[in-house]
Structures are given as C-alpha cells and as structure tokens.
Amino acid sequence: MKPFDKPIYVTRPILADLNEVNQELEEIWESQWLTNGGAKHQKLEEELTKVLKVPALSLFNNGTIALIVAIQSLRLSGEVITTPFTFPATPHVLPWNDINPVFCDIDENTLTLDAEKLEKAITPKTTGILGVHVYGMPCNVHKIQEVADRYGLRVIYDAAHAFGTEIDGVGIGTFGDISMFSFHSTKLFHTLEGGALTFNNPHLKPRIDLLKNFGIKNEEEVVMPGINGKMNEVQAAIGLLNLKLLDGERAKRHMIVDCYKENLADVPGIRVFEIPEGIRNSYQYFMIRVGPEFGLNRDEVHTELKKYNVITRKYFYPLCSDYSVYRSLPSAHPENLPVAHKIVKEVLCLPLYGGLELDSVDRICEIIRDLKK
C-alpha cells in the first residue's frame, strides 16, 4: 500500500465560501463595530441558543476562558472533582480559580467520570464536579446530578466536544449548572477560536456577561473582577456562515463513521467507540481502542500510520493526572485511576472531517488491517 501523497490529518476545519466571508467583512467594516457585543455577536447567540436547544447562552473568545468564567460565576472554591482523561484546559481552569483538582476514575465504556466512584472523592472542601463529555459521549448526567444534589455541589460540564450531542432529544448543554462548548477551528462547528457557556438559570446571564467584560456595568461602575472573554464580530460572522454548513458536515461525518465501523468491525483487537441508543453523536472524533489481540500496540499503530502519511492523535494521552503540575496530588496516584491508566494506552483518534473521501477511509482501514498481518 502506497502512502498518501499529502498528510491526512485527524481533522480539518469547515471553511465558508470566501466571497461570503468577504461580504460579511464588508458589512462589519461598513458598521465600524468590531467587537463588544455587536450585531453579529447578538445574532449568533440567538441562533446557537436554538441549534443547541438551550434556554440561555453566552459567547466567548475561546472555550478555556469560558470555563474559567463558569467557575467564577458559581463562586466555586476549595476542591472540584474532575476527570484525568481530557485536554489540559479542563483541570487547568481550577488552579486559575485557586481551586485544587481532585481526580476521579473514568467509566470503562463511556470514558467519562465514573459516577459510582464520585462519592469516595468528596471531602468537606468539595464545592463542585467538573465532568467532560469526552469525544461527545455524555457523562452519566442523571447519576452525577443525584450525587451533587445529595452533597449540595455544583455541576459544570466541559462540552468542548459535544456540539449537537443530545440525550433523548434534549440538548447536552441543559444538564448541570453550566456547560462549556469550544468553537476552536478543530471543532465540528467553529468560529476560528471561540466558545460559549450554556445554562438553565437565566439569572446567570447578567453575571456571566459582566464577568466576560471586565465586570463593567456601565461607564462609571465596575462591579466585579472580570476578564476579557468577548467574542469579536469577525469570529461571530464566521460562526453564522459555518452554521449554514453544519448539517452537511454532520451528514458527511456520519457516512465516514459508518464506513470506518463497517471496515473495522471484524479486526481482532480493534474496538470502535459505540454510542448508545438515544444519544445523538456530535461526530467530533472517531476513536478506536487498540487491544492486546491486535499484535501491535497503540503507539506502534500511531507510528506505522504516520509512515503512510495518516496523522492520527492519541487524544488524551498522557493523562492530566500525570502532568508534572498534578502528579503529586493524592488523587493523581495511578492506584486511584486504574481504568483511566488502562484506557489511555489504547485510544487512537483516526481522521474525521467532512472533506475526507470515503476512498481514503477505505485505504486507512486497509492499512490498519494489513498491520495486523
């Protein structure tokens, strides 16, 4: 099998028609209103509230700042329980709020927080739970809420990968107190860089909007120590254009995922990530697990595929609990996180984006099957 002529990356962004982008830019230039809650920003907030099926939403310049603000807005302190199997941004937002992360193990099937192990991690200092819908797979939201209610804890979800994920038709951004979505260029829906918070309690919006704008209430009053988390008009305009491409992109990714599943179903040692019934997939990543029966381990598959110009990613290796900044925390001890330690050696994200030809997917699968021989 010949290598691909050009690298096949794990993802590629959707790109709006340049003429339409120029038209949007002309409107922005004409208005001379570039940021600070302009018309495009307002329109995108309205549109996304509908698309994500949430009661309220606030846009941000990126997902990480949004998550920092989410924690500020609920006044969390002390300790917050989170998952080690995620992108660095998730635990990092805690020390930025002077909070200690407490790592809890993950569930073997969903790879999200193991809700059954949460209670063991709660101490008198715990104020919240920060779950991650990793690869767009929902956390066990009902059980997590039940534990949170029993102990009076707040629940925040990192839904960076979960744009469009739904549980029985209910938008994923409606669970818990606040959810954060990332609109980074690598995401199914993007605004170049960007993000949003969604929440059920409409009273949170004024506080969140103040926090993302330096705490400025009016020309003469600054009422809280806010930050600059504002999305600008160019980002919002790109978002409005990308919304038009969303359904098409989802449909193409759906076909690609089906093609991978069909091709890899009977390869011993390769396990695909199954989305349970009732869950609408976000099609953000296509992850496989490479088990011992495959013969080659995950790292070897990653290296071999690179020789064919297939650039896969080991999201999310290493575990956050293994970063030098967190390693010494008692909860970061590998004995506390056996499932996460096993999973993180097996996961591999294969290329997934609408522009990927089905022929290329077939070829990638053939390369994987050949590696097995």
Q: What is the 3-state secondary structure (H, E, C) of 44-76?
A: HHHHHHHHCCCCEEEEECCHHHHHHHHHHHCCC
**Near ligand T4K by CB under 6 A, which window of 24-32, 183-191, 261-269, 324-332?**
183-191
Antiparallel, parallel or unpaired: β 170-171 and 178-182: unpaired
Which residue number, 182 or 267, has a Cβ lying nearer to ligand T4K? Answer: 182
Q: Considering only CA atoms, which of 117, 63, 107 is closest in space to residue 85?
A: 107
Show contacts with ligand T4K in window 113-132 (CB under 6 A). Answer: 132
**Near ligand T4K by CB under 6 A, which window of 122-130, 157-165, 197-205, 339-347?**
157-165
Farthest CA pair distance, the chain: 72
Taking the C-alpha atoms of 85, 134, 139 and 112 in order, what is their torsion angle to the nearest 10 degrees? -20
Stated as kind and residue range, the H or E segment containing 358 is helix 358-372
Which residue number, 182 or 198, has a Cβ lying nearer to ligand T4K? Answer: 182
Tell me: does residue 62 bind ligand T4K (CB under 6 A): yes
**Near ligand T4K by CB under 6 A, which window of 17-25, 100-108, 184-192, 259-267?**
184-192
- In the list 100, 186, 213, 360, the residue contacting ligand T4K (rule: CB under 6 A) is 186
Other C-beta atoms closer than 10 Å to the C-beta of 98 total 10
Stated as kind and residue range, the H or E segment containing 287 is strand 286-290
Which residue number, 87 or 260, has a Cβ lying nearer to ligand T4K? Answer: 87
- For 241, what's the count of Cα atoms within 13 Å in the CB-facing half-sphere? 20
Which residue number, 9 or 323, has a Cβ lying nearer to ligand T4K? Answer: 9
- In the list 45, 158, 166, 233, the residue contacting ligand T4K (rule: CB under 6 A) is 158
**Near ligand T4K by CB under 6 A, which window of 34-42, 60-68, 76-84, 293-301?**
60-68
Residues that bind ligand T4K (CB under 6 A): 9-13, 62-64, 86-87, 89-90, 132, 158, 160-161, 182, 184-186, 195, 311, 315
